[in-house]
Amino acid sequence: MTNQRKRDDIIHVLKNCYHNIFEKNLPIYGVAYPHLKDFTTSKQDALKKISKKPPKGNLLKSEDLFRDKWYKNSKSDSKISDTNKSSESRGPSISEISSSEDSKQAEYDSVSANIEEGKSHRKSKKTIYSKDRNKQVNLDDFEKLKVIGKGTFGKVYMVKKITDGKIYAMKSIRKDVMIENDQIESAKMEKQILLNNQYPFLVKMSYVFQSKDKVYFVMNFIRGGELFTHLNNEKRFPEDKARFYAIQIMLSIGYLHKQDIVYRDIKPENILIGEDGYLYLADFGLAKSVKKGELATTFCGTPEYLAPEIIKEEGHNHAVDWWACGILIYEMIVGFPPFYHKNQNTMYDLIEKFPVKFPDPVKHGIPMSDEARDLISTLLEKDPKKRLGYDGGIEEIIAHPWFREIDVDMLLNKQLDAPFIPKLSEELTDVSNFDKEFTSTDLTQSIVPRGGMEAVEKLNSMFNDFDS
């Protein structure tokens, strides 16, 4: 076969792929190379009528297909909803297990080596998915400066408001993907939280508007970047620093719970650091109103942070957030989530059935106070009704001895010295604390395919509430 013939055949295959992806809506999955064998249907499987497919979390959306480096999984999407369950890994932990006690210990020791060497293999996980109301704005009022985040719904930009030069973060949410994932009501909930909250540790929104294919949230720009980035750089935090961060997040969660809102996506990637060293909880795309006595049923969150009741699909309430706070505290102090395993099904089994393991202060060089161990253990109680905070809420949480040294009133007024102040230049457009993979991304917005626009046009009345 001539080289020209080969090229023609390749072009023909690519054209067919394009046709199937965008016209026939053929599902395309992205799976890391080492895991391909787990999703390969053998002849024996076929004879037994067994079809092995990747989890729905690996189903690629059109936004993913145009990413230059999606296959490297350096910034993969991992928030999971009814249609999205991710199997990608964040990195090794102390609790990887196998079938025998000896192999459990061997695997524990191998992870110990990573801890002692300070080598973190954590990978960021991205989830799928105006106060001045008298002043109307649209996309023409803002100049895009940099991309500072990316997800399945679209991108997050650093923008400048042309009339006054103020810097904001602008989240672009694709309408077709909201429709596809049944997330319109969730986006409306996110809008209400961002617009109405006055809590010191929650991101706030100044404007919301829409175009024919996207909805835009314009929020305060938090210059210090993601907590994930700083944790990844430092490998792990000293316990005092983890405590300072944890109580801010837990107070924010308590504030939401008192309004009957369950957050459902606590993780370092959704927490930003301000220039004063204080935290801001962001991204309320999975938040849901759940009143006392009610249970939510959506399978959603980030795999390493899922509570057992979500995995079992038994219905869940505010207690899932306290579980996730336990995971967060552990990850900040140790450097890895406590139940991580490279096999997602094994990880879910760990979450459901196995107790949390703590590092040995001598062997692993990671000291942890008895109070911290007790708090984590009571937050990671498998039975949600026995979990710390289930009955007593945030008041029960902050009464725990681990928080004894924190003056909550001074914290809320930001009168305590932060343990870390991010390095920033005098330029308000400094993005040095954000991932370079994002900030070096082209500013061009993604194109909604024809089928997606048809769905948007048919259901566009559902987006009326997004006008400022």
Report helix angle 370-379 to 239-257, nearest 10: 30
Dist CA 268 CA 460 (whole Å):
34
- Neighbouring residues of 264: CB distance < 8 A, sequence distance ≥ 6: 286, 287, 288, 296, 300, 301, 320, 321, 324
For residue 231, give every residue at least 6 positions away whose Cβ sits within 8 Å of its Cβ, in sequence order, or none: 122, 237, 268, 331, 332, 335
* Dihedral angle of Cα 265, 127, 443, 450, to the nearest 10 degrees: -130
- Phi and psi at residue 125, to the nearest 5°: -115, 120
Query: Helix or strand or coil: residue 32?
Result: coil
Inter-residue contact 252 to 314 (CB < 8 Å):
no
Q: Angle 319-334/370-379 helices, nearest 10 degrees? A: 140
* Dihedral pair phi/psi, residue 261, rounded to 5°: -115, 125
**In b/e form, how buried is each residue of 387-406, taking b as 16+ CB within 10 angstroms?**
bbbbeeebeebbebebbeeb
Among this protein's residues, is 370 annotated catalytic?
no
User: How many whole angstroms separate alpha carbon 362 and alpha carbon 112?
Assistant: 11
Query: What φ, ψ does residue 185 adopt, rounded to 5°?
Result: -65, -35
**Cα–Cα dist 398/408, whole Å:** 8
Instruction: Please pick, among 64, 77, 176, 265, the residue that the annotation labels catalytic.
Output: 265
Report how far apart the first and last C-alpha atoms of the chain are (Å, whole number): 61
For residue 31, which of 42, 39, 23 has the smallest C-alpha distance? 39
Catalytic center residues: 265
